[in-house]
Amino acid sequence: MSKPSTVTVPRSAVKQRALLLLVLALLVGGVAYPPAANRVIDTMNYWVGTHLGHIEKGFVLGLDLQGGTRLDYEADVSQVPASERAASLDGVRDVIERRVNSLGVSEPLITTAQAGDSWRVSAELAGIRDVNQAIKLIGETPILEFKEENTEPQRDLTAEETKAMDAKNAEAKKKAEADLAQALKDPGSVEALAKSDSSDQASKALGGDLGFLKGKPQYQPILDAVKNLKAGEVLNRLVDLPGAYVIAKVEEVKASDPQVNGRHILIQWAGAQSAPTSTTRTKEEAKKALEDIKKQVTAANFTDMAKKYSEEPGAKESGGDLGWFGKGDMVEPFEKAIYAMKKGDVSDIVETQFGYHLIFKADERPTNDVRARAVFIKQTQASDILPPQGEWKNTQLGGKQLKSAKLDFDQNSGSPQIALQFDDEGTKLFADITKRNVGKRVAIFLDGNVEIAPTVQTEIANGQAVITGNYTIEEAKTKAMRLQQGALPIPIKLIAQQTVGSTLGQDSVNKSLTAGIWGFVFVALFMLFWYRLPGLMSIVSLCLYVGISFSIFKLLPVTLTLAGIAGFILSLGIAVDANVLVFERLKEEVKSGKGWLQALEEAFRRAWPSIRDGNTTTLIACAVLYWFSSSIIKGFALTLAVGILTSLFTSIIVTRTLLRLVAMTELPKRMPWLFLNKTEDKK
Amino acid sequence: MKIVKNRWFWFLFSGVLVVSAVVALATFGLKQGIDFTGGTQLSVRFEKRPTPVDAEKAMAVFNLNTMTIQPAGDTDLIFRFKSIDEDTHQKMIKTMESTFGKVTELQYNAIGPAVGVELRQKAISSLVIIFLLVLAFIAWSFRKVSAPVQSWKYGTVVLASAFHDVIIPVGLFALLGKFLNWEIGTPFIAAVLTIMGYSINDTIVVLDRVRENLQKTTGTFEEIVERSIQQTMLRSFNTSMTTILALLAVFFFGGESIKEFALALIVGIATGTYSSIFIIPSLLVTWNKFSHKTKQAGTRA
């Protein structure tokens, strides 16, 4: 060698770096292609007993790849003072976000932007099916309304209305009686009558069949009326249900769980369900007390004992009487106990959540369940004529009269609050409302939902109200913004819509993948053909480059679009450019008679300025492209820029380390043709 | 092959290309897509694709005036028409289904005219900004080289090459628009901007070598430039080749919607490499000689 090799790096350092790169390669490999890494993790968890989780980071795909819709809206801010435009646009975004969320779109992306004088809101809805519905829903101008509590009692019917109702019902009754006569004459006709006349839509379709009546509280009066009839019989009178006259026919009778009748004595402990706070004894003490009572209790004296000892409210009068009840009426341990007992027995101590019980079973009787068919003839009721009573009552006050809603701070406590300011008309209306409602709540509705419902402390006559509450600054700000948005007449207009069907999206993903693989293969073959072993090293670097890029895409994350992937494939070509420059330099240096190691260092050093300058201009272009903010182009610029920066690392650091590693072996001497020079290295 | 010596041949060749491109652009103009003009583009995949004429007949009820229908691939049709509302859009799809059987809506883009105008303005301002930034960068990068060529001359020559590299693909797209109905959209603009950045890449490699050789070797300016070209020709060619190979993969396998973008880049990068070898260095030599002559002429008189 002609010059001392001071520029070369010590072997140990090279080996150390190579090792570091190997670790990096494994790491990015794992992130870029998780299935492989996860298999390794599984194996390790199995053999070493670690509990490492899987890597599950995926690529973020843009709308054009996963399918979806992007809607761009222009907000008309001409009515809004300049200082409030940004805030009101944020309000619009929030409203759109809420509306979109109701559509069940996964991770909708709602963004605002200002371009010159135009203020935009864009909604990216991935995987949405009904775009039309989304457009309709988003496009509504939000409605802000003030409502007061509805405290008016339900009014009575006027004499006239009552008269009309009575007349109607008399007619209905006549009709019902006619049907009843018909049914009694021919029980088989009930089905047809139900189909033609019944006002109960659900059973009408089934020919009046109500199924078995037990356990259906709304039919209890019918069950009570027909329980003694046999199958096939029609009840010889009308059942008068609220809202209907009913003609009932029994279709089927079956035995049902029997009912039981009895009494009980209850002893509670502190903390048992519905135990009064005066109860102080512990559970053990309660049990002990009841055991003592049990010693005195017999079937004959049970009622008196219950009056004396039972802690059930009202036991002194009732003597613990439970009346008739059936299955499902009592808590489970109690029911189980009493059904298991014989008539006239006193039970052991039974524990429920209410306390300890002693039970006396007085009687048991069989019951029937009945399947009935019924014709309902509608009766008009007062509630049919009067409108339903809502919780809130409309007022004249709405978003139109609200001038602004802002975040404010209490002068004394400094806690955040919402300050409302009304215009002249709103001030008058709000004064009236607050006067009427001192001590009551006034609700502010946004899009038909209660947004906030503060209680009125005092009449507010000056049109300036504050809403206090335990808000954080952030909460108060958001609420104010939402009210502000609802308050502002700021219409939005759909100016652009881009929809990509999922078919095309999948298509594009597949094609991009194919293109990427071929791009890689083309570049790799080219490098191998021209530069042989160094070429091979640059391919290894290129693999690492792909791994690092994928990892960055996943971790940042960069949203991948079709153009973005094209940018990445393009960057595959650019990534080896630096290596081409270095290798051509390397050829020259080797030709000029330098030893391989020396030539290597020299080539990397001297090629660097061109590499730096060339890539800088492309990066400048990327920056401008990114600023050229169409989302398609942003994706391209971002992947290209990430690619270029990554490639500077891989094509310089990685390739150099690999080549140094190879240069340290005997290979360059033995097989010089692998290293770009045909003749043996001159010594 | 002496490049600088035969420079007038290459100047003529490039001149013809540039003039043709300018003429094509002036006569035909670029066929602008809905990105710039506003309007609607609808891509539909059919199980049994109707002819464009039949499709147009079926759509006649919607009064879309100037609707163009273009087949794409084997199964798809691309409809282009004026802006419509969402209800009409849905009705169109329903009508297609009832007339032609099952259809899959691949893509629906509706751009308001205002957005188009804005995009166009943005595209133009981005071009100007890239131009200026690159000029500034080159001037800065070559600031230490003053003799015999001042650094601002490098910058000017680089800009001339950027113009050359951009106008040729643009001219090509004017022709493609005229004869094959290729439309340009935002991806084309992205391609042009990238060409601007990238074409400088090769130019810098050559000029860097000129700069280095000027400091290290002797000879006339022409000889030094010629030597620099010969030394860097292969690497310029190879760097572009790798990039073009990657882009060819995109062009052939990447799908319809990205073809225009890939082609613009391929042509631009190829042109960029060609100009960095055959035009830019020679231009520098010619300029140098010209200013020498005028200087000498001045002293003699």
Domain end point (choices A447, A468, A500): A500
A661 and A636 share one domain? yes
Count the domains in chain B. 2
A244 and A262 share one domain? no
Each residue of A208-227: pLDDT tens digit? Answer: 888 888 777 788 888 888 87
Domain end point (choices B65, B87, B111): B111
* Residue A360, domain CATH: 3.10.50.40
Domain end point (choices B111, B142, B175): B111
Q: Is the peptide bond before A557 cis (omega within 30 degrees of 0)?
A: yes
Residues of chain B with pLDDT under 50: 298-301
Angle CA(B16)–CA(B20)–CA(B23) in degrees, nearest 5? 140
Regarding pTM above 0.90, the answer is: no
Each residue of A200-210: pLDDT tens digit? Answer: 877 887 888 88
Question: Which of A277-281, A489-493, A573-577, B217-221 comes out lowest in average pLDDT?
Answer: A489-493
Q: Which amino acid is at A62?
A: G
Domain end point (choices B111, B140, B174): B111
Alpha helices in A556-595 (DSSP H): 562-575, 577-591
pLDDT band (50, 70, 90) for residue A102: low
A287 — alpha (psi -120 to 50), left (phi > 0) or beta? alpha
Q: Mutate which of A117, A613, A639 to disrupt the B interface (most B C-beta within 10 Å)?
A: A613
Q: Is residue A511 part of a domain?
A: yes
Query: Which residues 6+ apart lie within 8 Å of A546 measured at CB?
Result: A32, A520, A572
B102 and B128 share one domain? no
Contacts of B43 in chain A (CB under 8 A): 504
**Range of B62's domain?**
39-111
Each residue of B155-201: pLDDT tens digit? Answer: 788 878 888 999 999 999 999 999 988 888 888 888 888 888 777 77
* Residue B229, domain CATH: 1.20.1640.10
Contacts of B86 in chain A (CB under 8 A): 131-132, 135-136, 494, 497
CA A563 to chain centre: 31
Overall average pLDDT of the A235-256 stretch? 86
pLDDT band (50, 70, 90) for residue A487: low
A520 and A665 share one domain? yes
Q: Is the pLDDT of residue A521 over 90?
A: yes
Q: Is the pLDDT of residue A409 over 70?
A: yes
Q: Is residue B209 part of a domain?
A: yes
B100 and B125 share one domain? no
Taking a C-beta distance cutoff of 8 angstroms, is the pair B235, A580 a contact?
Answer: yes
pLDDT of residue A36: 83
Question: Which of A330-334, A439-443, B203-207 comes out lowest in average pLDDT?
Answer: B203-207
Contacts of B261 in chain A (CB under 8 A): 563, 566
A613 in contact with B at a CB cutoff of 8 Å? yes
A625 in contact with B at a CB cutoff of 8 Å? yes
Alpha helices in A499-654 (DSSP H): 502-555, 562-575, 577-591, 596-627, 631-648
CA distance A554 to chain B (A): 22
CA distance B60 to chain A (A): 22
Overall average pLDDT of the A482-502 stretch? 74
**What ipTM does the predicted assembly reach?**
0.86
CA distance B90 to chain A (A): 8
Overall average pLDDT of the A472-493 stretch? 73
A473 and A538 share one domain? no
Q: When comparing pLDDT for A628 and B74, which is higher?
A: B74
Among A98-107, A404-413, A507-516, B16-25, top mean pLDDT goes to B16-25
Question: Which of A529-533, A550-554, A608-612 comes out lowest in average pLDDT?
Answer: A608-612
Overall average pLDDT of the A464-482 stretch? 82
B91 and B120 share one domain? no
A239 and A270 share one domain? no
Each residue of A345-378: pLDDT tens digit? Answer: 888 889 888 889 999 988 888 888 888 888 888 8
Q: Is residue A387 part of a domain?
A: no
pLDDT of residue A676: 62
Q: Are A522 and B248 an interchain contact pair (Cβ–Cβ within 8 Å)?
A: yes
- What share of chain A in percent tops pLDDT 70? 92
Each residue of A294-313: pLDDT tens digit? Answer: 888 888 888 888 888 888 88
Q: Is residue B281 part of a domain?
A: yes
A450 and A329 share one domain? no
Overall average pLDDT of the A578-607 stretch? 85
Q: Is residue A61 part of a domain?
A: no
CA distance A45 to chain B (A): 41
Q: Is residue B2 part of a domain?
A: no
Q: Quick one: tokens of B258? A: 């990205």
Taking a C-beta distance cutoff of 8 angstroms, is the pair A490, A93 a contact?
Answer: no
A655 and A574 share one domain? yes
pLDDT of residue A412: 83
Q: Is the pLDDT of residue A117 over 80?
A: no
Task: Tell me the C-alpha distance between B248 and B263, whole Å.
Answer: 8
A517 and A597 share one domain? yes
A531 and A588 share one domain? yes
Q: Is residue B70 part of a domain?
A: yes
Angle CA(A489)–CA(A494)–CA(A498) in degrees, nearest 5? 155
pLDDT of residue A3: 42
A561 and A657 share one domain? yes
B191 and B102 share one domain? no
B152 and B280 share one domain? yes
Contacts of B193 in chain A (CB under 8 A): 621, 624-625, 628
DSSP chain B: --TTTTHHHHHHHHHHHHHHHHHHHHHH---B-HHHH-EEEEEEEESSPPPHHHHHHHHGGG--SS-EEEEETTTEEEEEE----HHHHHHHHHHHHHHHS-EEEEEEEEE-HHHHHHHHHHHHHHHHHHHHHHHHHHHHHTTT--SSS-HHHHHHHHHHHHHHHHHHHHHHHHHHHHHH-PPB-HHHHHHHHHHHHHHHHHHHHHHHHHHHHHHH--S-HHHHHHHHHHHHHHHHHHHHHHHHHHHHHHHHHS-GGGHHHHHHHHHHHHHHHHHHHHTHHHHHHHHHHHHHHHHHHHHH-
A469 and A347 share one domain? no
A113 in contact with B at a CB cutoff of 8 Å? no
**Range of A171's domain?**
161-254+371-378
Q: Are B242 and A115 an interchain contact pair (Cβ–Cβ within 8 Å)?
A: no
Q: Mutate which of B250, B251, B256 to disrupt the A interface (most A C-beta within 10 Å)?
A: B250
CA distance A53 to chain B (A): 36
A579 and A671 share one domain? yes
Phi/psi of residue B132, nearest 5 degrees: -65, -45
